[in-house]
A and B are shown apart, each in its own frame.
Chain A
Amino acid sequence: MSNGLKLVLFLAEILTLGSAVLVALHPNVLYASVALLFAFLGVAVMFVYAGADFIAGAQVIVYVGGVTILILFAIMLTQWLYKLNLREIPGKILLPILVVGVAVVPALYKVIRELTAFIEKAPPTDLEKFSSLPKTSVIGQALLTNYVLPFEAITILLLGALVGAVWLARPTK
């Protein structure tokens, strides 16, 4: 991979992390959800670089085009824009940062150290070939052979979730 391509991936990672910081910490939920859109876009670029072209497309269509718009709709339907109760109380953020920093971050650090050391001892041989291969037909065949049971289960889950969402959001009498 050339240095220019690496720089693009690096910038996408920076975009993802910066947007994720805004999502977690911005006091206004409307701005946080717009930042979430850019975080999803950065993750889609990362997927492309990991050889997951189909997943990147699904990420853009489902997350950027679907979930973010749905969340924006919910914000507009439930709250007045820029009203005071849209904002969170400042100063409440310190305790969660402390708890997560003490309890979660060291564990994650140790896991990543050991996992990367383990994987770099025996990397897969056909890595370049895997990255450049188009994945759509492979995924389609896998969905109807090895993954047919999860595929059918997820169709029922989606049907149930959509019917349930419509039923929950029905107008009150």
Chain B
Amino acid sequence: MNILNWATGLHGYLFVGAAMFVLGLIGILSRKNAIGILLGIELILNAAGINFVAFSKYRTASIDGQMVALFIILIAAAEAAVALAIILRLYRLRETIDAAEANLMRN
């Protein structure tokens, strides 16, 4: 029961948020695939949302943190739409979505 109480309180929320942030960072750093990098970014944004919602309950017991989480969700949706449009564009131009191949502006 001890681990259950620990995991369902503030500690559990912060632990899950931190672990998702770390995993998203590892995903971003280890992948060359542009869509894989986008998956990591979504994980990190969601981890931030978890932290805001948890502090909204356990620190202030008010609505403010939830508003920030709502704006994070909206911005993540807009970001995903633009990122996928860029990825489709890159695929049409270069026949690849490897992030290392996107070097049109290098020379």
Indicate, yes or no, whether A interacts with B. Answer: yes
0/1 interface trace, chain A 62-78, chain B, CB 8 Å (1 if under): 11001100110111011
Q: Return the chain A residue nearest B25 by Cβ.
A: A100
A6 near B81 with CB under 8 A, answer no
Number of interface residues of B (CB under 8 A): 75
On chain B, the residues within 8 Å of A29 by CB distance are: 31, 33, 35-36, 39
* Contact for A55 among B4, B66, B87, CB less than 8 A: B66
- Asked whether B81 lies within 8 Å of A165 as measured between CB atoms, the reply is yes
Q: Which of A3, A36, A43, A168 is within 8 Å of B50, CB to CB?
A: A43
Asked whether B70 lies within 8 Å of A58 as measured between CB atoms, the reply is yes
5 closest A-B pairs by CB: A96-B29, A161-B78, A124-B61, A168-B85, A24-B27
Q: Give the number of residues in A that approach B within 8 Å (Cβ atoms).
A: 89
Q: Please list the residues of chain A having a beta carbon within 8 angstroms of any beta carbon in chain B.
A: 1, 3, 6-7, 9-10, 13, 16-17, 20-21, 23-25, 29, 32-33, 36, 39-40, 43, 46-47, 49-52, 54-55, 58-59, 62-63, 66-67, 70-71, 73-75, 77-79, 85-86, 88-89, 92-93, 95-97, 99-100, 104-105, 108-109, 112, 115-116, 119-120, 123-127, 129-131, 135, 138-139, 142-143, 147, 150, 154, 157-158, 161-162, 164-166, 168-169, 172
Our pick among A3, A100, A109, A126 for the contact of B1 (Cβ within 8 Å) is A3
Does A74 lie within 8 Å of B87, measured CB to CB?
A: yes
Residues 51-107 of B contacting A (Cβ, < 8 Å) = 53-63, 66-67, 69-71, 73-82, 84-89, 91-93, 96-98
A10-B7, A112-B14, A124-B59 known; A43 vs B74 contact (CB < 8 Å):
no
Asked if B22 and A70 sit within 8 Å, CB to CB, the answer is no
- In the bound complex, residues from chain B placing their C-beta under 8 Å from that of A63 are 42, 46, 73, 76-77
**Known: A20-B23, A24-B40, A123-B58. Is A169-B85 also a contact (CB below 8 A)?**
yes
